[in-house]
Amino acid sequence: MPIIIKNKDTLIFDDFIMKCCIGKRGFTKNKIEGDKKTPTGKFNLGSLYLRGDRKIKPITKLDIVYIKKNMGWCNDIRSKGYYNKLIKIKSNLRHEKLYRKDYKYNFFIPIKFNWKNKKIGGGSAIFIHLTKNYKPTAGCIGVSEKDFLILIKLINKKTTIKIL
């Protein structure tokens, strides 16, 4: 059973309907790095990433990756080898910092968009992450921490996400 992003503010899984937010400029079939749009399609999900210094290990069937200070997600269109991958932060690669001062990445799950047969510049670091105010994202899906914790109890490694 997939997670379904029905519209710009509704996430559905099984019998659960949750409020969410998406990219500032809506949905797209043709994602481009930095366009602030959420890609449409059906995608697999990655592991659960967790700030262990802030949050306790939740109940989940997903593999857990603990976020460290030196972790980033490469969004550097000049880097064919690292683009749209978890990296150890290097000063010469552009990246999304995972160990953030705010709360948004206390928990997150990568959406495996532009994962296999990667298109450089085709979009990177698309996550399901936390939000408190449901303001539009840079292309990710934002949900409240309460709903995120419910969702990760229900899903497993085979769960997909369908963004309509």
Q: How far is CA 133 from the centre of its chain?
A: 17
Confidence bin at 91 (pLDDT 50/70/90): confident
What the block records as the tokens of 51 is: 């700030």
Q: Which helix (H) or strand (E) holds 152?
A: helix 145-154
Closest CA to 101 of 133, 67, 58: 67
Q: What is the CATH number of domain 3-163?
A: 2.40.440
Q: What is the pLDDT of residues 28-58, one digit of tens each?
A: 999 999 999 999 999 999 999 999 999 999 9
How confident is the model at residue 113, as a pLDDT?
A: 98
User: pLDDT tens, 106-158?
Assistant: 999 999 999 999 999 999 999 999 999 999 999 999 999 999 999 999 999 99
Ramachandran angles phi, psi of 145, nearest 5°? -60, -40
